[in-house]
Structure 1
């Protein structure tokens, strides 16, 4: 006898409803990472760069910013790599919102996905309780980094949702 599957099928974050703490944290972060990618998919290059709010926030800018945030927390802080080792756009500062003329959404998404994969590989080397130095907080644990990254990514996904709705009316986690 098979167990009936819910309709719609369970999302990745729902599949870990009885998972370990680490499985839950990783699933929620990956869920929001995926939503960000879906939010920028299918929009024109022009729309991805359009400023629809007074700040520098654009769909493409959100992706570029999150590349820097991923690198800042997982590579710079957790792995203790220097910015010279990591490359440009580390930390998600004001300059992470500025788009070069030749930066495309497709290239930014590919770079974001690489940064997220590197973050996963880096985090896999640490236990949730492991701590690393933080200039502002003294020390932070991988657990704290995961929770912070879930918050940061989800907040910016909310921004992307609003921008996408203004562009073409698409809303929700799938569009």
Structure 2
């Protein structure tokens, strides 16, 4: 009984955070969804591409149910990092549609297998796993990247919240956020050690 509840709960959360990830692309230009916004090049479309690659791998080959489309190899040094950004030849639609196909494939694995179904992750130090561990791992990974996406989106156009457009920034206007940020800056400066 608890196994079914846990599986449903984790799966529902994974479905929800997937949608939140895609919503972060809404209303943005091709340039803005691709542009590197951190020193390491993190960008919104790259996060979606990355999640689609790894969700396909974790709910596919780990359970001997390979995703039916080619994926970059995790063990090929020349491919490392290629899943974190989109080339000029990859369209938003292609990447988003692939992510949705990955969802369908992953959902079938989750629905078809028991939560204690065995899997094998050859790149993990303890490679023998259960579906439960992979559900938790992918929910954690997707949530982590959704947090990155929240910050990237806020940097791009100030949108905050669970959807792409920011739900009117939780009902606050630009003046509120400017004052809020200034208050936090004053507190940070006041906390600095005093010099003699």
Normalising by structure 1, we get a TM-score of 0.81
1:126 aligns with 2:126: no
1:88 aligns with 2:47: no
Q: What are the residue-to-residue correspondences of 1:14-93 with 2, within 5 Å?
A: 20-81=5-66, 86-89=69-72, 93=80
Separation in structure 1 between the aligned mates of residue 7 and residue 127 of structure 2, nearest angstrom: 23
Q: Provide the alpha-carbon RMSD of the alignment.
A: 1.9
Contact 2:120 2:127 in 1 (8 A): yes
Separation in structure 1 between the aligned mates of residue 59 and residue 80 of structure 2, nearest angstrom: 15
User: 1:100 aligns to what?
Assistant: 87
User: 2:149 aligns to what?
Assistant: 160
User: What stretches of structure 2 of length at least 5 have no aligned partner?
Assistant: 165-196
User: What stretches of structure 1 of length at least 5 have no aligned partner?
Assistant: 1-18
**How many aligned positions are there?**
155
Q: Which contiguous aligned blocks of 4+ residues in structure 1 show a shift greater than 4 angstroms? A: 90-93
Deviation at 1:93, TM superposition (A): 4.5
Deviation at 1:89, TM superposition (A): 3.4
Deviation at 1:79, TM superposition (A): 2.8
Separation in structure 1 between the aligned mates of residue 18 and residue 72 of structure 2, nearest angstrom: 18
SS of the aligned residue for 1:101 comes to coil
Moved more, 147-156 or 118-127: 118-127
1:115 aligns with 2:94: no
Deviation at 1:90, TM superposition (A): 5.6
Separation in structure 1 between the aligned mates of residue 69 and residue 64 of structure 2, nearest angstrom: 10
